[in-house]
Structure 1
Amino acid sequence: MDDDVSRRVALEVADGIATVRLDRPDKLNALDPAMFEALVEAGTSLIDRDDVGAVVLTGAGRAFCAGLDFGSFAAMAEGGAARVVVPREPLGAARALGQQAVHVWSLVPAPVIAAVHGFAFGGGLQIALGADIRIVAPDAQLSVMEVQWGLVPDMCGTQLLPELVGRDVAKELALTGRKVSGTDAVGLGLATRAADDPLADAQALAAEIAGHSRSATRAVKRLVELAGRVPLAEGLQAEQEEIGALIGSPEQAAVVRRRLGA
């Protein structure tokens, strides 16, 4: 791994929980090519890990992620190449690097919880949208900010936002770039819930999830990801296939025995 990439994101696994921390606090965890690469590497490294029952995605210092590094905007103004549209080997449905930094979290089998504090602007917000659950500080500031820089949300944001807030609100947020507080984000559906200490809350939730059957929690994630994206008959069939694989499995039997005190 390139030294710049290795320094951008810290990954720790303990007690079945992976903590992924954007680690550029002096820049409010601003996104640059090394940060994108580090996020993709961290996410892909978790895809095949059976010892991870839940993931917490957070940022070091005063912000979750303030968005694209200002140096990249300066390069664009001077006609420099965009940083996220260069085709790469596909990662799931995503080919562009910036999209992969978001999409990778949907490919991680374990549920992913974003703990958002300070700023989550532009690409930073889109990274949070890649998580399954978002816990935000009430005073956090979130914004789909790209339009204010003459851009569009190009890190899966246009595809993920409407599912969460509806098409009209998604358009309003993306067309204005207005900032919303963590409290308002919950009301809009942009965040799951607010907590004074979102990281502690995310860690507690991750511990609860990691304590359940991993086969079951991963199946829940797979099934909910299908909802609205495949025909109903396909989604219902997937339910039956998942429950058929779970019932009577050694893991499920062990859960029953624990619940019954056997």
Structure 2
Amino acid sequence: MTRVTLDIQDNLALVTLNRPDKMNAVDFEMIDAVIAAGEALAARDDLRAVVLQGEGRAFCAGLDVVNFGALAMGDPEALIMPRTHGAANKFQQFSLVWRDLPVPVIAALHGVAFGAGFQLALGADMRIAAPETRLSIMEMKWGLVPDMGGMATLPHLTRADVIGRLTYTADEITAEQGADWGLVTELNADPQARALALAQSIAGRSPSAIRAAKRLIRKALTAPEAEVLMTESREQTDLIGKPDQMEVIAANLQKRAPQFK
């Protein structure tokens, strides 16, 4: 079975974890498939937004326990330490490929998002969760620490004490608690439909402005203030008077939907 399905329509990509019999538990094959899907989408100039979801009754139950045996019996140093994707290894790229995508990514969460699945969702720009969804940084349950990009994304979303609480205990929390702590963007009874509607709304905006906004937000989270301010000015200068912005102005004046090339 294909671990990940990719459906692209009207400049939107629907990326679906496709191992429903295992609640989309992550094995090595799925890690490779998720990275390949993200990298393929990153190369598309026509892409405007992405929805990331899980098939069946859960978004993702975390790392497949069968993989723990393979890791323990192998050479962790050789498997984990090499940097295969810039500053990241492939386990971290599983999540960070979505953070680094040039367009917004919306994760639709239902059932559970545990361990690797939770860190995958943290790589998205937004997380829409069904109210009954359960979340957990699960690694401590297995005597491990989060190692799939979570420590690069969590500090931008919530407080240090919350990160510690979730990491040290491996406790499950509700999506409502996740929303209170900044880990869930929005609660919705039908997260997949809501995520798709939000992606469609984004896709109707200026594609060049949306990509500029994602670059600018990333810069604002990581760079010194002077660099952020300069980037803000540069991105704006590069948008003003260009075809996408002129089409937005014309569409607003003519009271119609913009049509971008």
TM bin, normalised by shorter chain, reads over 0.9
Question: Which range moves more in the overlay, 152-161 or 117-126?
Answer: 152-161
Change in CA separation of 1:37 and 1:76 when aligned onto 2, cut-off 3 Å: closer
Correspondence for 1:29 among 15, 21, 24: 24
Distance 1:109 1:35 in 2: 22
- Confirm whether residue 115 of structure 1 aligns to residue 108 of structure 2: yes
Distance 1:249 1:60 in 2: 40
Whether the 8 Å contact between 2:156 and 2:221 is mirrored in structure 1 is no
Question: Which range moves more in the overlay, 108-117 or 81-90?
Answer: 81-90
Match in the other structure for 2:11: 16
Q: Would you say how many aligned residue pairs link Structure 1 and Structure 2?
A: 254
Q: Kindly provide the CA deviation profile for residues 12-32 of structure 1, in whole angstroms up to 9, marking residues without a partner as x.
A: 100111000000000110111
The two structures, once aligned, show a CA RMSD in angstroms of 1.5
Match in the other structure for 1:132: 125
Whether the 8 Å contact between 1:28 and 1:63 is mirrored in structure 2 is yes
Q: Which amino acid aligns with 2:56?
A: G
SS at match of 1:18: strand
Q: Kindly provide the CA deviation profile for residues 35-88 of structure 1, in whole angstroms up to 9, marking residues without a partner as x.
A: 0000000000011212211000000001100000010123345x3344961525
SS at match of 1:63: coil
Please report how far the alpha carbon of residue 206 of structure 1 lies from its aligned counterpart in structure 2 after TM superposition.
0.2
Please report how far the alpha carbon of residue 159 of structure 1 lies from its aligned counterpart in structure 2 after TM superposition.
2.1
- Confirm whether residue 60 of structure 1 aligns to residue 61 of structure 2: no
Change in CA separation of 1:167 and 1:173 when aligned onto 2, cut-off 3 Å: same
Q: Which amino acid aligns with 1:181?
A: T
Whether the 8 Å contact between 1:53 and 1:214 is mirrored in structure 2 is yes
Q: Kindly provide the CA deviation profile for residues 153-193 of structure 1, in whole angstroms up to 9, marking residues without a partner as x.
A: 00111221122111111111111111011111111111101
Distance 1:126 1:90 in 2: 17
Whether the 8 Å contact between 1:126 and 1:157 is mirrored in structure 2 is yes
- Confirm whether residue 182 of structure 1 aligns to residue 194 of structure 2: no
SS at match of 1:89: coil
Match in the other structure for 1:80: 74
Match in the other structure for 1:38: 33
SS at match of 1:66: coil
Q: Which amino acid aligns with 1:241?
A: R
- Confirm whether residue 47 of structure 1 aligns to residue 32 of structure 2: no
Q: Which amino acid aligns with 1:243?
A: Q
Q: Which amino acid aligns with 1:12?
A: D
Gaps of 5+ in 2: 256-261
Q: Kindly provide the CA deviation profile for residues 109-154 of structure 1, in whole angstroms up to 9, marking residues without a partner as x.
A: 1100000001100000000000000000100010001011000000
SS at match of 1:90: coil
Identical positions, percent: 49
Distance 1:20 1:86 in 2: 28
Distance 1:163 1:250 in 2: 34
Distance 2:129 2:95 in 1: 18
Q: Which amino acid aligns with 1:159?
A: A
Whether the 8 Å contact between 1:86 and 1:97 is mirrored in structure 2 is no
- Confirm whether residue 197 of structure 1 aligns to residue 190 of structure 2: yes
Whether the 8 Å contact between 1:75 and 1:81 is mirrored in structure 2 is no
Whether the 8 Å contact between 1:116 and 1:198 is mirrored in structure 2 is yes
